[in-house]
Amino acid sequence: MIKTDIIIIGAGPVGLFTVFEAGLLKLKCHLIDALPIPGGQCAEIYPKKPIYDIPGYPSIQASVLVDKLMEQIKPFSPGFTLGETADTLEKDNNGNFKVTTTQGTVHTAPIVAIAGGLGVFKPRKPPIENLHTLEKKYIHYIVKEPSIFDKKNIVISGGGDSALDWALYFAKNYAASVKLIHRSDNFRAHNDSVQKALNYAKEGKIEMILNSEVYSVDEKEDNIFLNVRSKNKETQNIKCDNWLPLFGLSPKIGPIGNWGLEIEKNAIKVNNSTDYSTNVDGIFAIGDVNTYDGKLKLILCGFHEAAIMVQSAFKKIHPEKNNVLKYTTVTGIKGF
C-alpha cells in the first residue's frame, strides 16, 4: 500500500504543479496516471506545439513545459504510479481515502486531488471496420512526432482546430503533399486558421476536398487508398502514405464519475469561491476536470487552482498548525 499526504489523480501539467505547491508546505504527493508518461494533454496530444500563454515564457514547446515541471518538482520526490487508471475510491475507518487502480495498486492518503483533465483520452475514430489493422502503420489520430511525416503524402480529415492546424503545419514543413478532407464546407476552427487554410488552398499548398468523407480504406504495397464520397455521391480513390483523421477526443471522465462526486457536463463541480473542493470532504478537483461559473480550461488557471487547493489540504492534514505564506525568494526550495 502506497501512503502519502495527497494522492493526485492525473499527471498532466496541473497535477505536476500541485506537487510543487504541496512541497512548499512539506506535503508529500503521489501521482497516478493512466498514461505511461507524465504530461497529460501536453505530452499525449500536442508535445511539439508551442504554447504562448505560460507566464514568463513567450513561447514554450508543450513537451519542454512538461520537462521543466518535472525538474521543478524533483526536490520534492513525488511518487508515480504510471500506466494505471485510478478505478475505485473508498474511505477507511481512520478517515483516509483508499484509491485502487485497475491493476490493483492501492494508495492511501487523507486528501485526494483530482487533476484528471479530459479523463482517459479516447480519440474519436471514423466508423470504418478494418481501421485497427491499419492503425500502426498508416493511420494516426494524434500527431505526436511530426517529423515521421517527413516527405510523406498525407491526408487529414476534420474541420476543427486540430485538423486545420496540422494541415497548415505540414503544408509548410515536412510533408510532400497535404490533402484536407472535410464533410462540410464550414469549419469549426478559429477564423484565422480557416482563412490561412483557404489561402493555402488557393496557392496549391493544400488540396481541399470539401463536403466529402472517407468511407473505406484499402491497403496495397506500402500505401493506403482512401475511398472518398462527396455529398452528391461522387466517389474518388486517393492514394497516400498516411491518413490522419483528426476528429478530436471524446472526453470521458471514466471511473471518477462513480465516486459520488457532483458531475456537470462531464466535469466535477467545485466551490471556486473557496478552495476547489468537491461535494466530498477531502476531495478537490483542479485543472480541466473541474467546472464552475467562468471556468477557463487553461494551464495557468489550473496552476492557480493548485496553489489555492493545497492551502486547504494543509489545514485538513495539520489542523493544529498555522500556515503562514512564505515567498520562495525568501526561503528557497530547501528551506521549505
**Residues lying near ligand FAD in the complex (CB under 6 A):** 9-15, 32-35, 40-42, 45-46, 51, 53, 85-86, 115-120, 162, 254-256, 287-289, 297-300, 302
User: Closest approach of Cβ 69 to ligand FAD, in Å?
Assistant: 10
CB of 101: closest distance to ligand FAD in angstroms? Answer: 7
Cβ atoms within 10 Å of 173's Cβ, excluding its own: 11
Nearer CB in complex with ligand FAD: 194/298:
298
The secondary structure of 256-281 as a DSSP string is GGGSS--EETTEEE-BTTTT-B-SST
Closest CA to 131 of 224, 252, 211, 46: 224
Residue 201 Cβ, how far from ligand FAD at the closest point, in Å? 22
DSSP 110: S
Read off the DSSP letter of residue 183.
S
Specify the residue for cell string 481501421.
131
Note whether 11 and 302 are within 8 A (CB).
no
**In this structure, how many other beta carbons lie within 10 angstroms of the beta carbon of residue 22?**
29
Which is nearer to ligand FAD, 177 or 266 (by Cβ)? Answer: 266
- Residue 321 CA to residue 147 CA, distance in Å, equals 53
9 vs 154 by CB, closer to ligand FAD: 9
For residue 22, the minimal CB distance to ligand FAD (Å) is 15
How far is the C-alpha of 56 from the C-alpha of 60, rounded, in Å?
10
Task: For the CB of residue 63, give the shortest distance to ligand FAD in the complex, in Å.
Answer: 12
Indicate the residue among 108 and 212 with the shorter CB distance to ligand FAD: 108
Closest CB to ligand FAD among residues 218, 264: 264
